[in-house]
Chain A
Amino acid sequence: MKTIVCRCEDVTLDDVRHALALGFRDLEEVKRYTGLGTGPCQGKECMALCGFILAERGCVPVPFTTRPPVAAVALGTLARGDEEG
């Protein structure tokens, strides 16, 4: 049975442990290896969860890069955003 760490991308606790066993030691690496934090929510829940899993193993996690947009936005909102009405 699966324990879900990142619900957007279905990344499990086993996946995270596997990444750690392979020697990945920070959030950026675990993200790149497992896909954690790359779904629609962009890590709002799993980044803290995974950060604590890393901290338990003696790492000092730093967050992975946050990129725009932090909330979902319709392409239609951006399409003419440069013009000003």
Chain B
Amino acid sequence: MSDRVPDCTVFLDGSAVRAVAGEPVAVGLWAAGVRVLSRSVKYHRPRAAFCLAGHCGACLMRIDGQPNVKACQTALREGQRIEHQNSWPAGEHDLLGAADAVFPRGMDHHTMFTSPRAANALLRKMVHRLGGLGRLPERGGELAALPSGRRRKVDVAVIGAGPAGLAAALTCAQDGKRSVVVYDEQDRPGGSLLSHPRFGIAAADALAAEARAVGVELRCHAAAIAWYPEDDGGLLAIDDGGVLTKLTARRYIYATGSYDVNALFENNDRPGIWAARAVGLLATRYRVKLAGRTAILGDGAYAHALAEALASAGSNVEHLASERVLRARGRLWVSGLDLEGGRRVRCDRVAVAAVPAPASELARQHGAAVELRAKGGGFACLVDGRGATRVDQVYACGDVCGFVGVEAARAHGHSVGRAVAESLA
């Protein structure tokens, strides 16, 4: 059962909503019955959180006057002002959503209204008004009040505090001979441990504590944003709680994990269609009681673990391991799925357990080679038996080398951490 008790009031487009302080805005609004968090940029299709991990861009809202804030990565607090963007007059009743019906086959911006000139100019104005992402902040910051940058040098930099990154860091730091720092964009360490029903917060905290105990420094709310090869022989830029950190390390270990990916069927972007790991987060990390019926799509180990966990918690589960979905039903929230063969499944949410895609962009910026692998979920980093990429001093481990899941990622992290320690001995 859930132990969530609303203890604060926030304002959504001016109306009071009771919520649990500290929970993400996206979770609190969903639990309070808010269905639509955003509208898509072109057709104004209704959207709500998909990944709950800060990656999919489906939950951008205006929060306390700041545009394009990720509602899944922002904690609720008393008096917060939350607004829908890009919709008129309101998120759930957006007249601009007519664009979706007016262009049922989509719009081809290469050929549309290119003549006559007057129509083209008018359309450009319209598109500028309808498109885009929100309005500028109410107040700009004073330049002098903004934080200045900071430079840092460490022996080993690990990017990502999931099972692979934490394991690599702790193995690498165990003999106490080198400085190891782990950066993670989330608010707490754990990565995919946090969304896995068999692991969760307790397992994540235990692994993080083990790493800290051997001297690893864990930094959360710290997203690695880019590798700049031309600056001072190369530096890794990190947005460390709003402060730009320019990091150089003797070894870099990319343990950036994987991104949730949707399945392809009609209306696959309907609110209520979540990544399976997001549903795992709701159940495991946020301890929300999942009322109604959950349809789980997919046949991987994670789909089975989630189905089992939800069922044993008393939730109604329809596990569609191999059925092909043709379309989702429901206008503002998913109400069912049409399957190939004519079967129709009623549900209150969908958990899509497609193979997640390796989060390999940063390693690629750093020169690592990648290869498209169907079983690995996307473009996987190529590494040798020690986790080394083709670039000197650059290593990778876990899902970024092709999706493997929590346990295998942790094992890979340990072995790569050992190899990196040996390379520095």
* Chain A contact surface mostly: loop
User: Cβ of A69 and Cβ of B226 under 8 Å apart?
Assistant: yes
User: Cβ of B133 and Cβ of A9 under 8 Å apart?
Assistant: no
Contact residue among B43, B224, B226, B370 (Cβ-Cβ distance under 8 Å from A2): B43
Given contacts A10-B45, A70-B362, A84-B149, contact A41 B55 (CB under 8 A): yes
B205 to chain A, nearest CB (A): 24
Q: How large is the interface on B (under 10, 10 to 19, 20 to 34, 35 or more residues)?
A: 35 or more
Does B143 have its Cβ within 8 Å of any Cβ on chain A? yes
Does B10 have its Cβ within 8 Å of any Cβ on chain A? no
For A61, list chain B residues within 8 Å (CB).
372
For B89, list chain A residues within 8 Å (CB).
none
| B254-298 interface with A by 8 A CB criterion | 259-262, 264-269
Does B150 have its Cβ within 8 Å of any Cβ on chain A? yes
Does B252 have its Cβ within 8 Å of any Cβ on chain A? no
Does B23 have its Cβ within 8 Å of any Cβ on chain A? no
| A23-49 interface with B by 8 A CB criterion | 33, 35, 39-42, 44-45, 47-49
User: Cβ of A84 and Cβ of B148 under 8 Å apart?
Assistant: yes
User: Cβ of B359 and Cβ of A44 under 8 Å apart?
Assistant: yes
* A39: nearest chain-B partner, CB-CB: B57
Given contacts A12-B106, A73-B239, contact A82 B378 (CB under 8 A): no
Query: A2 to B143, alpha carbons, bound, how many Å?
Result: 44
Query: A61 to B357, alpha carbons, bound, how many Å?
Result: 15
Does A57 have its Cβ within 8 Å of any Cβ on chain B? no
User: Cβ of A83 and Cβ of B108 under 8 Å apart?
Assistant: no
User: Cβ of B364 and Cβ of A66 under 8 Å apart?
Assistant: yes
A1 to chain B, nearest CB (A): 4
B345 to chain A, nearest CB (A): 17
A79 to chain B, nearest CB (A): 5
Query: A43 to B42, alpha carbons, bound, how many Å?
Result: 17
Contact residue among A5, A7, A44 (Cβ-Cβ distance under 8 Å from B47): A7
Interface string of A54-85 (1 = CB under 8 A from B): 01000011010010111111101111111111
Contact residue among A4, A44, A60, A81 (Cβ-Cβ distance under 8 Å from B148): A81
* B54: nearest chain-A partner, CB-CB: A71
B37 to chain A, nearest CB (A): 13
Query: A13 to B106, alpha carbons, bound, how many Å?
Result: 10
Contact residue among A5, A48, A79 (Cβ-Cβ distance under 8 Å from B377): A48
User: Cβ of B143 and Cβ of A63 under 8 Å apart?
Assistant: no
Q: How large is the interface on A (under 10, 10 to 19, 20 to 34, 35 or more residues)?
A: 35 or more
User: Cβ of A45 and Cβ of B146 under 8 Å apart?
Assistant: no
User: Cβ of A71 and Cβ of B225 under 8 Å apart?
Assistant: yes
User: Cβ of B225 and Cβ of A7 under 8 Å apart?
Assistant: no
User: Cβ of B149 and Cβ of A3 under 8 Å apart?
Assistant: no
For A80, list chain B residues within 8 Å (CB).
143, 146-149
User: Cβ of A14 and Cβ of B223 under 8 Å apart?
Assistant: no
User: Cβ of A84 and Cβ of B150 under 8 Å apart?
Assistant: yes
User: Cβ of A45 and Cβ of B260 under 8 Å apart?
Assistant: yes
Query: A60 to B105, alpha carbons, bound, how many Å?
Result: 28
Chain A residues near B (Cβ < 8 Å): 1-5, 7-10, 12-15, 18, 33, 35, 39-42, 44-45, 47-49, 51-52, 55, 60-61, 63, 66, 68-74, 76-85
Question: What 10 pairs across the A-B complex have the smallest Cβ distances?
Answer: A48-B378, A68-B226, A81-B244, A48-B357, A10-B42, A69-B225, A85-B148, A66-B361, A81-B149, A1-B266
Known A4-B262, A45-B261; further 7 A-B contacts with Cβ < 8 A: A3-B265, A7-B56, A44-B259, A48-B372, A63-B379, A74-B242, A78-B244
Q: List 21 A-B contacts (CB under 8 A).
A: A3-B266, A7-B58, A9-B42, A13-B264, A15-B106, A35-B109, A39-B57, A41-B57, A42-B361, A45-B260, A48-B259, A48-B377, A49-B264, A69-B237, A70-B226, A76-B242, A78-B244, A79-B143, A80-B143, A84-B148, A85-B150
